Structure 1
Amino acid sequence: MQIDLTGKRALVTGASRGLGRAIALSLANAGADVVITYEKSADKAQAVAEEIRALGRKGHAIQADSSSAEAIVQAVNQTAETLGGLDILVNNAGIARGGPLESMSLEDIDAVIGVNIRGVVIATQAALAHLGQGGRIINIGSCLANRVAFEGIAVYSMSKSALNSFTRGLARDLGPKGITVNLVHPGPTDSDMNPADGEEAKAQLQHIALGHYGKPEDIAAAVTFLASPAAGQITGTGLDVDGGVNA
């Protein structure tokens, strides 16, 4: 199936590398103009914007800390101004902090909640001023939102599971406006944050039915489909792209 997003305007948060980069490039390859946000990796973010432009689309990178409400709102509004509107929001920015709860600092707990939950809510709220009929909101969760398969990830898993009810609730609220809201749950995916040859890889591999890590492009393909007209009847849904971790 050929997905055509020509004329669509997208914002992907936290997209200077890894899953976010793959998602941004996949949307652009399907025809969308794409703005990405980044926190610190300016050179990598500008490189992604250049890759988007090389595909013949508009591509821009905006510095925005996803823990800052002001920065998030400004980035959403700047995206809409730069692209002439907004059709697709991908809430990809996220952080992972782990360890036994009794040893986690309040700073780490606040950081996880601030980016993974609060940041998603604020970005979505800001985007609603620009999204119209046919709009798409796609949140990036985790296979650990539905099954906590490892020790030391209770707070992170909580932050991702919160997106389940947020997605379903918004699907109800926004359905009458023709806006769909969905959630993609990646499993272990080879990236800077969780390399397939990393220290934790062996433990994770035993849970993957397919026996190997996913690729960022696997997640990007799911997001691009959900952003397309072909997914117009899909909303309030969580899609596991996890190689069977939660089978």
Structure 2
Amino acid sequence: MTAQTGEPPLAGLRTVVTGASSGIGRAIAVAFAAAGARVGLGFWRSSEAARALANQLGAIHPLLRADLSTADGCASIVRDAFGALEHVDVWVNNAGADVLTGEAARWPAEHKLQALLELDLKATIRCSRLVAARMRPGGCILNLGWDHATVDGMAGDDPELFAAVKAGVLGFSKSFARSVAPDVRVNV
């Protein structure tokens, strides 16, 4: 609550979090909602987890289902988000390929790289561009990176692939921030 108004600090803000059904995305969505924002909950395969989160947070937080590994899926989530929320103040590109657990852990490196490029890098670029074109001045796009991508690296096949893709997210974000400033802020 703010001392001046007694309202939550993000009251009235409309936010979208991609990959909101689990992990970091879920935590981000919960934090935004707890601070008073209305949150569009982006998800793809985890319908049950997404519905459970929406039930926990309340009906004002719409579910936004889309396969962000495709251009059509990126266009769909942006269209649906603006349809459900009318405008978006903060967009969080959190969705990412899990190539470390389950069946994906056994994929060959080339398959893992393709999944990471499609979801972690291309979806971030596509959604950022589509959202920025519709965002009001003062909007913010947050792209998730990885500190090991630029600080100290990490040994191993999977970290090498992940670091390369997240370094791409960082490079895109820095350049895109210059392209859309001063109307939209872009951070990693």
Report the TM range for the smaller structure's normalisation.
0.7 to 0.9
Instruction: Count matched residues.
Output: 175
Q: How far has the Cα of 1:96 moved from its partner?
A: 4.1
Which one-letter code corresponds to 1:154 in the other structure? E
Q: Distance in 2 between matches of 1:182 and 1:172?
A: 11
TM-score w.r.t. the length of structure 1 is 0.66
Q: Runs of 5+ in structure 1 lacking a partner?
A: 184-247
Secondary structure (helix, strand or coil) at the match of 1:65 reads coil
Equivalent pair of 2:154/2:160 in contact (CA under 8 Å): no
Retained in 2: the 8 A contact 1:95–1:115? yes
Residue 114 in 1 paired to residue 118 in 2?
Answer: yes
User: Does structure 1 retain, via aligned residues, the 8 Å contact 2:132–2:180?
Assistant: no
Unaligned runs of 5+ in 2: 3-7, 101-106
> Shift of the alpha carbon at 1:144?
2.1
Residue of structure 2 in register with 1:142 after alignment: 146
Give the Cα–Cα distance (whole angstroms) in 2 for the partners of residues 7 and 104 of structure 1: 45
The runs of at least 4 consecutive aligned structure 1 residues that moved more than 6 Å come to none
Amino acid at match of 2:155: F
Deviations 1:32-86 (A, max 9, x none): 1111111211011011112221xxx721112211201101211111111111111
Of all paired residues, the percent bearing the same amino acid is 29
1:156 paired to 2:162: yes
> Structure 2: how far apart are the matches of 1:4 and 1:172?
28
Which structure's residues are more often helix, by fraction? 2
Q: TM-score, normalised by structure 2?
A: 0.86
CA RMSD of aligned residues (A): 1.9
| Structure 1 counterpart SS, 2:63 | strand
1:124 and 1:73 map into 2 onto residues whose CA distance is 11
Local SS of the residue matching 2:154: coil
Q: How far apart are the structure 2 equivalents of 1:176 and 1:35?
A: 25
Which residue number in structure 2 is paired with residue 87 of structure 1? 89
